[in-house]
Amino acid sequence: MTTVRREAFGRMPPEEGGGEVEKFVLQSDSVRVEILSFGCIITTLETKDRDGQFSDIVLGFDTLEGYTRKHPFFGAVIGRVANRIANGRFTLDGKEYQLFLNNGPNSLHGGAKGFDKVLWNPQVLPNGVRFFRLSPDGEEGYPGDLKVWVTYTLSGRELAINYQAQTSKTTPISLTNHAYFNLAGQGSQDVYDHEISIEADSYLPVDDTKIPTGEVAAVQGTGFDLRQPVELGKHLQKFHLDGFDHNFCLHQGQDRHLVARVFHPPTGRTMEVHTTQPGIQFYTGNNLDGSLKGKGAVTYPKHSAFCLETQNWPDAVNKPHFPKVLLQPGEEYNHTTWLVFNTA
C-alpha cells in the first residue's frame, strides 16, 4: 500500500517567473521518497537497513534555494538529451543545430536550462505522481515541440520511473534521472565500501572531454569489467582509476532487464537497477569537492556518492552505429527504469 501526499515546498524566484513548487511524498512500508515539481527532482529517498532503520540515501538540499542555484544535477530529470553532445552540434535532414556549450567544448544534460531547471505540471496518481511539460520548438536549440511525461510510482520496495515523449519534428531525446546515491546514508564520506556489479560486456572509451571515441570496447580484462561484484575503493586502487564516468553498453531490447546491483555490507542495504534503456552511465561523483552544503549542512566530498543513470549512449546523435536516439513525429519515446531496494 502506497500513500501519496502533496505539500508546498517553496516559490520560484521572481526572475524565474515565481511559481509554486510542490513536493510529493510517496511512502510504502519499506521506502519513502520525496519528489519536487521543479525538475522532477528526487530530494529524499529513505530505505531500511538490515535492522529496519530508515536512512536517506540520496544527496540533495533542505530548501528550494539549493536546487535553484548551480549544483551537479542532484536527483533531477535530465533532458532533452542526457550526457554529452560533442561540440554541442548535430545535423538533421541537412540542417545543423548548435546547442549551448556548458561542459568545456561540449553540451551537457540539455544545455543552459534543461529539464532539471523548469517547473513541471503534476498529477497525483493512486501510487505516485506524473509530471508533464511541453518543451517548445527551439528550446535550448532542439527542434520540435516535445511533449514529455515523467511518472514516478512506488510499489513496496520498488520505485519505477517511466519516461514518455512525443514530438512535432524529428529530435534527439534521451531522458534519465541523476540521483546521487550513498547506501550508507547521505552525508557519509565516501562509497568505497560499496560492492557494485554492472551487467555489461562492453563500455565506451572516451576522449579527454568525456566524449565517446566511437569504439565499443570489451570490458574483459580491464578495470571496466564489473560483471562480478567489486568493492569500489579497492577496485579503483587496483586499476589506478580516478573514478568512473562512463557509459556501459546494455542488452538491446525493450524488455525489462537487471543491469546493476549495489550492496553495502555494513548496513545490508541493496539496490538493483532494472531498465529498458540501452545504456547506463556509472559515475562516482568525481567532481564533488566538498564545496556544497547539502542536507543537514553536511558537505559532499569527492566519491561521496555514485550515479547509475540509465539512458541512451552519449553523443549518439553524432554516432550512427550507436543506438537510435532520434524520435520521429508519430512515434512515442517510452522507457522505464526500476529501482528495487532490499537488505541482505
- Start-end of H helices in the chain: 64-68, 232-238
Q: Rounded distance, CA 156 to CA 162, Å?
A: 17
The answer to whether 160 is a known ligand-binding residue is no
The answer to whether 178 is a known ligand-binding residue is yes
End-to-end Cα separation, the chain, in angstroms: 23
Q: Are the beta carbons of 99 and 88 closer than 8 angstroms?
A: yes
Query: Among positive and negative, which fits the CA dihedral 37, 109, 334, 160?
Result: negative
Specify whether 309 is catalytic: yes
The answer to whether 116 is a known ligand-binding residue is no
Residue where the block lists cell 524565474:
16
Specify whether 178 is catalytic: yes
Among candidate residues 34, 46, 109, 178, the one labeled active-site is 178
Closest to 67 (Cα-Cα) out of 123, 134, 9, 146: 9
Among candidate residues 46, 303, 309, 335, the one labeled active-site is 309
The answer to whether 200 is a known ligand-binding residue is no
**DSSP assignment letter at 333:** E
CA angle, residues 252, 163, 204, in degrees to nearest 5: 40
SS3 category, 201: coil
The answer to whether 303 is a known ligand-binding residue is no
Question: 53, exposed or middle or buried, with CB in 10 Å at 0-12, 13-18, 19+?
Answer: exposed
The answer to whether 83 is a known ligand-binding residue is yes
Q: Rounded distance, CA 301 to CA 299, Å?
A: 6
* Residue list, annotated binding site for beta-D-galactose: 83-84, 178-180, 245
Q: Binding site, residues? A: 83-84, 178-180, 245
Could you list the active site residues? 178, 309
